[in-house]
Chains A and B, each alone.
Chain A
């Protein structure tokens, strides 16, 4: 029990460090907050007439539709940023300092993910606030907001695990950074920015099965309609699936690094 408590304290301390790192360096906030916000603003203004298309879901405005996509994009980028930060720690030798300490090995990864989760929660609150300020209406009210924040926070952990796995395996910040465009590819092939039915093929077909679509829909439902059991379950299952896979990959990558020293 003591060990569990000790590990939790280590995870919390490392999590606090990773949050502090992000807030002390404004350029690390750019991919999480600034960039998706600007994209949200431009896409809402640029493609907003899409709500007039037949078969577009009933919404109060295009912003209501787009909000979920911006939130998920933000937490995917937060996961990528967390991976870059972990890779920089490896390059700098800071990770060696942690490994030389009497702490659980996996706490190093969990600490980074705790920080990413905190940033995910922060970005979720931020986007809800921005949405409300600019006229979005959240149909499910406070409970809907809480569900959105929960999904986004958990998704941030899941995506953070992917970033961490790549950082641990490669030990290189520029490799993790090179995945930045991949985030957009995955987002484009989902219903993050547009209803899957109204996308062109084959993107439409891919979006129907893309787990990111399920997560986005899970976050979107409370905004534009009501939460359904099926929608929420699909979102949760997708997050869980990605999370289990990414944490598994992180664990393998960590073991590889410990075994080979690099």
Chain B
């Protein structure tokens, strides 16, 4: 598999470049996806901002507390959009062109997914600019670096999810499932409030949801306290686990295209 990817690097590069076309050549189409996380961020801050008054809420600024939620949602949307684009390419026959070529399947998948990792930095950048403008804490370079890494990794994982569904259903009608899936996964975490203040079923789900670890990893720099390895490694493990599982599903889906 490593050899296949090594041979396929030019393929990965050319597919990443192609994926960038949509952003560069039809920028208007990308605007909703780029702005949506920022809109949600401002909305959630405005609506739930006073939750910080609750005893046990260990952050003084809701603007800062909720940043990682919107960052990961933006990454989720971008990744889901990769799946929607793949579904469109399959429906329109473009993907057959790639499948009929000798490019290794892992390289084709890597090309699709790598573009999502890069593109998810676009909504993240817009969000961070707006967040700092409305008074969110500066997380420090390490905190910022970890947050952006979490964004790219989540974009990759979301793209694998989107591609798995695209390869399974082969139709753009599966788009809501791709988008809603990521959206809800990110919300079923200590998104609105710290873990201890969650209620009922959500408290249990948030505890076992691997994305909660990714969220806490990304949140470190924005809330009081230091950025530590203890708060970072669970998020890394969660990302690796999601990458391996969803990557396997996506590759299997790719191989099953001929079935």
Chain A interface (Cβ within 8 Å of chain B)? 25, 27, 30-31, 34-35, 38-39, 41-50, 52-53, 62, 174, 178, 180-181, 184-185, 187-189, 193-194, 198-200, 203-204
Partner of B54, one of A52, A62, A194: A52
Q: Is B40 an interface residue (CB 8 A)?
A: yes
Given A30-B180, A46-B192, A50-B54: A184 and B43 within 8 A (CB)? Answer: yes
Q: Is B244 an interface residue (CB 8 A)?
A: no
Interface stretch of the complex, out of B31-39, B216-224, B229-237: B31-39
Q: Is B21 an interface residue (CB 8 A)?
A: no
Partner of B202, one of A39, A45, A188: A45
Chain B interface (Cβ within 8 Å of chain A)? 29, 32, 35-36, 39-40, 42-51, 53-54, 173-177, 180, 184, 187-188, 190-193, 197-203
Partner of A188, one of B44, B50, B174, B187: B44
Contact status A45-B180, CB under 8 Å = no
9 closest cross-chain pairs (CB), A and B? A45-B202, A188-B43, A46-B192, A203-B46, A200-B49, A48-B199, A30-B176, A42-B187, A47-B192
| Closest A residue by C-beta to B62 | A200
Bound state CA distance, A187 and B48, in angstroms?
A: 13
| Closest B residue by C-beta to A192 | B47
Given A30-B176, A42-B187: A47 and B50 within 8 A (CB)? Answer: no
Contact status A184-B39, CB under 8 Å = yes
Contact status B202-A42, CB under 8 Å = yes
Contact status A188-B46, CB under 8 Å = yes
Show 13 residue pairs from A and B whose CB-CB distance is below 8 angstroms, ordered by the A residue. Answer: A27-B177, A35-B180, A46-B191, A46-B199, A49-B193, A49-B197, A50-B48, A53-B53, A181-B39, A184-B39, A184-B43, A193-B47, A199-B50
Residues of B within 8 A of A184 (CB): 39-40, 43
Bound state CA distance, A42 and B199, in angstroms?
A: 10
Chain A binding surface, main DSSP class: helix
Bound state CA distance, A189 and B49, in angstroms?
A: 13
Chain B binding surface, main DSSP class: helix
How near does chain A come to B170, taking the closest CB pair, in angstroms?
15
Bound state CA distance, A213 and B234, in angstroms?
A: 42
Residues of A within 8 A of B42 (CB): 188
Partner of A50, one of B46, B51, B191: B51
Contact status A49-B180, CB under 8 Å = no
Residues of B within 8 A of A193 (CB): 47-48
Contact status A27-B173, CB under 8 Å = yes
Partner of B180, one of A38, A189, A203: A38
Residues of B within 8 A of A194 (CB): 47-48
Contact status A46-B50, CB under 8 Å = no
Contact status B202-A199, CB under 8 Å = no
Contact status A181-B198, CB under 8 Å = no
Bound state CA distance, A203 and B50, in angstroms?
A: 12
How near does chain B come to A153, taking the closest CB pair, in angstroms?
24
How near does chain A come to B189, taking the closest CB pair, in angstroms?
9
Partner of A203, one of B47, B200, B203: B47
Residues of B within 8 A of A35 (CB): 176, 180
Residues of A within 8 A of B40 (CB): 184
Partner of A49, one of B39, B43, B54, B201: B54
Residues of B within 8 A of A34 (CB): 176, 180
Given A46-B192, A180-B32, A181-B36: A199 and B180 within 8 A (CB)? Answer: no
| Closest A residue by C-beta to B192 | A46
Contact status A47-B203, CB under 8 Å = no
Contact status A42-B32, CB under 8 Å = no
How near does chain B come to A54, taking the closest CB pair, in angstroms?
8
Partner of A189, one of B44, B46, B48, B187: B46
Residues of B within 8 A of A41 (CB): 201-202
Bound state CA distance, A25 and B184, in angstroms?
A: 21
Contact status A188-B47, CB under 8 Å = yes
Given A42-B202, A188-B44, 6 extra CB contacts under 8 A: A45-B201, A46-B199, A49-B197, A50-B54, A184-B43, A199-B47
